[in-house]
Amino acid sequence: MNQSGRARTPRIAALLGLAMAASASIAEPVPPTGPHGAMALDAQQKRLNQLVTASTAPPPGIDPVAWASIYVPPGNELTADRIALGRKLYFDVRLSKDGTVACATCHDASRGFTDQRNVSEGIGDHLGRRSSPTTMNAALFQSMFWDGRAVTLEDQAKLPILNPIEMGHPDAASAMAGIAADPAYPGLFQKAYGRAPNYDDLGRAIASFERTLIFLDAPFDHFAAGDTKAISPAAQRGLALFNGKARCVSCHMINSSNPLGTDNLFHNIGVSARKQNFEALAQQALGALKDGSDVDALDKLALQTDMSELGRFIVSRKRGDIGAFKTEQLRNVGITAPYMHDGSLRTLWDVLDHYNKGGETNPYLDGGIEPLNLSEDEINDVVAFLFTLTDTRFAAQNEAAMRSQQAQAAKKRPFRDNALAHREVLPFEQRVLGPAGLK
Amino acid sequence: MKKTASLALLLLAAMVQARADDSVAPPHSPAGAPGSNTVKLCDNKTTVQISKDAPKTHAEGQKISDALMAQWQAKNPDKDWVKEEVEAHQVVTPEDNSKLVGTGQSSTYGAVSQQDVQVWNNETYKMAVYGSTVFHSGDELGSDIAVSCDMCHPRAANTHPETYPKFQPQLGRVALLRDMINWCIEHPVRGKVLAPDDPKMRALEAYILAQRKGVPLDYGKR
Amino acid sequence: MNDGKIPHIKSVETRHLEEREALFRGLHNLDRRAFLKISTGAAAAAVAAGVNYPFHSFLPISVAYADDRPGFNFAYISDSHLYVKAKNERFIRQLLRAVDDVNALDPQPDFVLYGGDLAQLGRKEELDVGAQVLKSLKAPVHMMAGEHDWFYDMGHRWNELFGPETYSFDHKGVHFVVLMSVQEKDFWTARGMSPAERMHTVAGLDNAVQSAFEVGAAQREWLRKDLEKVSKSTPLIVFSHSPLYKLYRPWNFWTDDAEDVQALLQPFDHVTVLHGHTHQVLTNRIGHIQFHGMLSTAWPWPYAPQGLPALTVQMNRPNPFDVSDGLGDGSATVHPDGLVDKLYSLWNRNPMQVKASYLSSGGKSDIPVPPTLSSY
């Protein structure tokens, strides 16, 4: 049944490859590995030098409207000194309690500024509950974290340092003491903020550095600007599907003034619902809310690791947000696998399979999610389009990722369910009617 | 009845003339005999073959129109689609313009006659009425799931044509009314999108705009 | 870059948790109205602070659930408009979703009301697939007929499957009446319409060829007799497919003999009418009769351009990019006095509750919290 789809992929790869090969890219030596599997930090810094210049000017490829829409809190206007301080902090393992984890450990410059793991590994090899999102273009988001609990990069940057299973400092003072050994910092903080080192300025500086990680110069942008050969015919068909039958655009609208390809909202697409206890957790949480006197209990429940699967609900306490997570950006999606908040989807083919079957059925499923009835050819076309959203500076990495994903997808498509995708079996049908289904 | 039929003829003649001038068969027409073009009536079923060498004159256009109309009337005796549609679905009537009768530039040339006003009015109304038939029919819309516009928009309620163009976040771009119509055709209705100049698209726009007669334009409003 | 949108830098996460803690601490000592006031205040403060994000909206969803008075619950599902699966699987899926919702209620409702328009074009196959799906409800079901179920075979298959369309029953001290309020005067014979044409005409909400809905003289007489044996202090709950009042004739949001039916109900101390057909959150009070609409599982209707009852707190305009938006199911809590708190469980939105006390007070107390989802 799936033979035709597999047979077609090499052709698409070839088409994509043609488009990719046209752009120059950075040589790709095997990255030396440091703690927690990240590339050694000095090697990362070298890589970074090839990618960006520490400049306060608008990065190449960004629309002036999008650049102007980046929120910068008063008092943290972008300056070269702040970027330099932030960059040093980003690569400083002393911000972790045991000296093994820097920002760059999970947001690795050699791995699409993420760690390419399902979920991230913190101090003491603790595994978190969520997949590390890329720091590329994060400045353009309206909220940070998968559940949007921080509004600014400044807020966001300070939290993992104090998270017991990420970087593990018990408090801000401990983190500041961690970097006090470096005699360079007081001068750098002074230059950047005109005062002695402190935790809020640390957050500000890291945010400043992250605002320079803008990677929006992709083949898709060249195509949108009128170069009809910038992306392959398959990718062009994929773009039409993206905007039409596949419905991606409803949440992932992408254009020059909203370049990320996100609606900045939160949707339940059912990823959490694959976990055995999701619905029981939701019932438990709603039950705690039902009885107003027990709200403290909900806070306690939220600290239990599994409750994080309720996503945005833990922040907003709205029923409609149960199991909802932030719409992730699509920029550079080819090199930031695995996908979804828990990293449970290995390839973009898996992502398309997930959406094609209408997500994972659960009582809180977003109503815009329904089976798409995409054919294998159509899936390949959309995937081909998604690989054109990677910045040209990562062209080689993107092509390697595509070949690797293609090989994985050829072996295994764990989320494919053609009966659901093609609407032969309906979501909710077996939950309600049992395995026999509709007569 | 007779008058309506003859007016219908005028409309068809105009449409067919445009087709003949372009020498292009409608996109979905079946392949005709070699050396000929297929001209299709707006019911999307009735067709005639015309020679590629046929002169592109008004008289020739009229012949094509007559042939199509004759076929249609043979298939639909006593059918007055405008009357039937209006009986079922109220369609707001256009501005009647009769106060213009007799005005002009103080000479016969350019003066407005009663007949002028009638033609304008009937033709305009008929376009909106045709739009109503498409709007209310899953079949006309090509719906795979028997869904039509009126199921969510009785009498074009909640369509707000006066707010276009506007940025439609879910489309990620500035949308015209027709873009939104096409989204609805493709998704809730599950039909095939229409070309911007498809007679059905033009008629749908006409019907939806007609129902909001008198509402001030307010483009960009959300 | 942009300055000055958010005039503070304190961890938003911290602030959020602090505010919420304060709110919920306060909750212990507050009645519901005071709680609402505080919640709204917090939202307003967030707006005043220029926060652009729907972050601090502590609109209390507990209000939609919490109630300490005794009574009983019934659930409802309505207006599913099924075609056969080969023609349209979406509407079947959405009914399945509603059944899944109701089956997940804990505790289970005493019964489930099906509010009419199970089928789209009244065909046997459509009614049969609906009957199969509804059979999997765990709680007992009371069926009501709608015009889409009826005008192909004039109720023949519906009656075979579900019994008489007009009936009454008593449950825990409440007298329930189910009417078939969508009778129409014969517009089809003179026009020589086939059953399919007749059904198709009635199925178009804005189709003016059909006549107005009515309960009709025979059924009103049945109702008069049925109510004769019921004491005036017995709580009365009436189910009708069309609203038992006159809202907007061009869409048949209307029952032509509504006043006559209301006259039969007015002598009772506590009367509530639940109706389908309007596919939206809809609330009215006439005399002391309280009226509630039901949500559809198929598609939402816009609000009528005229005649909307003043007591209706509207639901947000549905988002056309979300084919399930504005849809859902719900339940009703019947208090010992027979009055009903009506819950609209809108999919992917916070539920909306319209309490009997809101209607009894003429809209002064317990004002429903409108959904906070932004318009599109």
Neighbours of chain C (3+ CB pairs under 8 A): A, B
Instruction: With beta carbons under 8 A apart, name residues in chain A contacting B186.
Output: 244-245
> Does residue A181 fall inside a structural domain?
yes
Instruction: With beta carbons under 8 A apart, name residues in chain A contacting C4.
Output: 74
Position A217 scores a pLDDT of 93
> Does residue B220 fall inside a structural domain?
no
SS3 state at A386: helix
Share of chain A above pLDDT 90, in %: 65
Q: C residues 120-149 near B, CB within 8 Å? A: 120
> Does residue A90 fall inside a structural domain?
yes
Neighbours of chain A (3+ CB pairs under 8 A): B, C
Position B77 scores a pLDDT of 61
Please give the residue range of the domain that contains residue B68.
Answer: 2-79
Question: Is there a contact between A335 and A390 (Cβ–Cβ < 8 Å)?
Answer: yes
Position A286 scores a pLDDT of 79
Q: CA A175 to CA A166: how far, in whole Å?
A: 13
Tally the domains of chain A: 3
Same domain, C253 and C278: yes
Q: CA C121 to CA C108: how far, in whole Å?
A: 32
> For residue C63, is pLDDT > 50?
no
Q: CA C1 to CA C12: how far, in whole Å?
A: 21
In tens, the pLDDT along A137-162 reads 999 999 999 988 888 999 899 989 98
> Does residue C96 fall inside a structural domain?
yes
> For residue A179, is pLDDT > 80?
yes
Q: Point out the residue among B172, B187, B193 whose CB comes nearest to the CB of A253.
A: B172
C91 to chain B: closest CA residue: B145
Q: CATH code at A51?
A: 1.10.760.10
- Which of C1, C80, C103 best probes binding to A when mutated, by most A CB atoms within 10 angstroms? C1
Per the CB < 8 Å rule, is C302 touching B154? yes
Same domain, A53 and A153: yes
Position C35 scores a pLDDT of 40
Same domain, A220 and A166: no
> Does residue A124 fall inside a structural domain?
yes
Other beta carbons less than 10 A from residue A126's beta carbon: 14
Question: Is there a contact between A409 and A376 (Cβ–Cβ < 8 Å)?
Answer: no
Instruction: With beta carbons under 8 A apart, name residues in chain A contacting B169.
Output: 253, 263
Same domain, C190 and C326: yes
Question: Which run of H or E residues covers position C147?
Answer: helix C147-150
Q: Point out the residue among A245, A253, A254 whose CB comes nearest to the CB of B170.
A: A253
Question: Is there a contact between A385 and A245 (Cβ–Cβ < 8 Å)?
Answer: no
Among residues A427, A287, A267, the alpha carbon closest in space to that of A360 is found at A427
More confident residue, C260 or A321: C260
Same domain, B25 and B118: no
More confident residue, B165 or C60: B165
Position A343 scores a pLDDT of 95
Q: CA A142 to CA A243: how far, in whole Å?
A: 23
Per the CB < 8 Å rule, is C205 touching B150? yes
Same domain, A99 and A237: no
How many Cβ pairs closer than 8 A exist between chain A and B? 22
Å between B96 CA and nearest CA of chain C? 24
**Residues of chain B below pLDDT 70:** 1-35, 42-44, 73, 76-79, 105-108
Q: Point out the residue among A69, A368, A428 whose CB comes nearest to the CB of C96.
A: A428
Supply the ipTM of this predicted assembly: 0.83
* Mean pLDDT, rounded, of chain A: 88
Other beta carbons less than 10 A from residue C106's beta carbon: 7
Q: CATH code at A359?
A: 1.10.760
Instruction: With beta carbons under 8 A apart, name residues in chain B contacting A249.
Output: 170-172
> Does residue B222 fall inside a structural domain?
no
Same domain, C180 and C327: yes
Same domain, C181 and C147: yes
In tens, the pLDDT along A270-303 reads 999 998 789 888 888 777 766 554 445 555 555 5
Other beta carbons less than 10 A from residue B142's beta carbon: 17
Q: CA B207 to CA B209: how far, in whole Å?
A: 6
Per the CB < 8 Å rule, is B87 touching C209? yes
Same domain, B105 and B62: no
In tens, the pLDDT along C232-256 reads 999 999 999 999 999 999 999 999 9
Same domain, C118 and C76: yes
DSSP annotation of C77 reads E
Mean predicted confidence (pLDDT) in C331-346: 93
Same domain, C171 and C74: yes
Please give the residue range of the domain that contains residue C191.
Answer: 66-360
Q: CA C36 to CA A33: how far, in whole Å?
A: 55
Q: CA A249 to CA A325: how far, in whole Å?
A: 17
> For residue C8, is pLDDT > 70?
no
Per the CB < 8 Å rule, is B172 touching A249? yes
Neighbours of chain B (3+ CB pairs under 8 A): A, C
A261 to chain B: closest CA residue: B172
Which of A261, A291, A322 corresponds to the end of one domain? A322
In tens, the pLDDT along B110-164 reads 788 888 899 999 999 999 999 999 999 999 999 999 999 999 999 999 999 999 9
More confident residue, B9 or A107: A107
In tens, the pLDDT along A227-237 reads 999 999 999 99
Position A13 scores a pLDDT of 41
Mean predicted confidence (pLDDT) in A323-328: 96
Side-chain half-sphere of B11: how many Cα atoms within 13 Å?
23
C31 to chain A: closest CA residue: A292
What does the CA dihedral A183, A185, A190, A193 come to, rounded to 10 degrees? -170
Among residues C294, C244, C308, C248, the alpha carbon closest in space to that of C271 is found at C244
Same domain, A161 and A222: no
Q: Point out the residue among B88, B146, B184 whose CB comes nearest to the CB of C88.
A: B146
Task: List the beta strands (DSSP E) in chain B.
Answer: 36-40, 47-51, 166-168, 173-175
Per the CB < 8 Å rule, is A250 touching B170? yes
> For residue A211, is pLDDT > 90?
yes
Question: Which run of H or E residues covers position B153?
Answer: none
Mean predicted confidence (pLDDT) in C147-176: 97
> Does residue B9 fall inside a structural domain?
yes
The token duo for B53 is 């060498």
Same domain, B95 and B205: yes
Tally the domains of chain C: 2
Which of B27, B48, B79 corresponds to the end of one domain? B79
Same domain, C42 and C70: no
Which of B55, B79, B103 corresponds to the end of one domain? B79
* Mean pLDDT, rounded, of chain C: 85
* pLDDT classification of A308: cutoffs 50, 70, 90: confident
> Does residue C28 fall inside a structural domain?
yes
In tens, the pLDDT along A158-178 reads 989 988 888 989 999 999 999
Q: CA B61 to CA B14: how far, in whole Å?
A: 8
Which of A260, A289, A322 corresponds to the end of one domain? A322
Same domain, A232 and A121: no
Å between B89 CA and nearest CA of chain C? 5
CA dihedral sign, ordered C227, C228, C229, C230: positive
Whether the CB of C296 is below 8 Å from some CB of chain B: the reply is no
> Does residue A29 fall inside a structural domain?
no
Same domain, C135 and C232: yes
Least confident of A183-197, C21-35, C265-279, C316-330: C21-35
> Does residue B34 fall inside a structural domain?
yes
Instruction: With beta carbons under 8 A apart, name residues in chain B contacting A254.
Output: 172
B188 to chain A: closest CA residue: A368
> Does residue C145 fall inside a structural domain?
yes
Q: CA A345 to CA A354: how far, in whole Å?
A: 9
> Does residue A439 fall inside a structural domain?
no
Position B115 scores a pLDDT of 87
Q: CA C295 to CA C343: how far, in whole Å?
A: 10
Q: Point out the residue among B169, B172, B187 whose CB comes nearest to the CB of A247.
A: B187
Distances (CA, A) of A109 to A41, A45, A48, A334, A387: 9, 8, 6, 15, 19
Per the CB < 8 Å rule, is C133 touching A438? yes
Tally the domains of chain B: 2
Least confident of A317-321, C87-91, C105-109, C223-227: A317-321
B152 to chain C: closest CA residue: C301
Same domain, A297 and A404: no
Q: Tokens 């889409």 correspond to what residue?
A: C148
Among residues B163, B165, B95, B92, the alpha carbon closest in space to that of B132 is found at B92
> For residue A6, is pLDDT > 90?
no
> Does residue B183 fall inside a structural domain?
yes
> Does residue C2 fall inside a structural domain?
no
Distances (CA, A) of C362 to C233, C292, C303: 21, 14, 21
> Does residue C366 fall inside a structural domain?
no
> Does residue C374 fall inside a structural domain?
no
Same domain, B118 and B205: yes
Q: Which residues contact A80 (CB under 8 A, 6 or more apart)?
A: A54, A55, A56
> Does residue B72 fall inside a structural domain?
yes
Position A120 scores a pLDDT of 86
> Does residue A30 fall inside a structural domain?
no
Q: CATH code at B151?
A: 1.10.760.10
> Does residue C368 fall inside a structural domain?
no
Q: Which residues contact A150 (CB under 8 A, 6 or more apart)?
A: A143, A144, A156, A159, C11, C12, C13
Same domain, A204 and A243: no
> Does residue A28 fall inside a structural domain?
no
Instruction: With beta carbons under 8 A apart, name residues in chain C contacting A214.
Output: none
Q: CA C114 to CA C295: how far, in whole Å?
A: 11
More confident residue, C208 or B76: C208
Same domain, A330 and A317: no
Same domain, B128 and B166: yes
Question: Is there a contact between A26 and A50 (Cβ–Cβ < 8 Å)?
Answer: yes
Please give the residue range of the domain that contains residue A45.
Answer: 35-210
Same domain, B71 and B170: no
Instruction: With beta carbons under 8 A apart, name residues in chain B contacting C205.
Output: 150-151, 154
Position A303 scores a pLDDT of 55
Same domain, C193 and C234: yes
Q: CATH code at C184?
A: 3.60.21.10
Among residues A65, A71, A70, A391, the alpha carbon closest in space to that of A257 is found at A65
More confident residue, A52 or C62: A52
> Does residue B216 fall inside a structural domain?
no
Q: CA A338 to CA C351: how far, in whole Å?
A: 35
> Residue A75, by phi and psi: left (phi above 0), alpha (psi -120 to 50) or beta?
left
Which of B37, B55, B79 corresponds to the end of one domain? B79
> Does residue A378 fall inside a structural domain?
yes
> Does residue B191 fall inside a structural domain?
yes
Same domain, C20 and C92: no
Same domain, C50 and C84: no
SS3 state at C370: coil
Same domain, C53 and C85: no
Environment class of C267 (CB within 10 Å of its CB; exposed 0-12, middle 13-18, buried 19+): exposed
pTM of full prediction above 0.90:
no
Same domain, B56 and B119: no
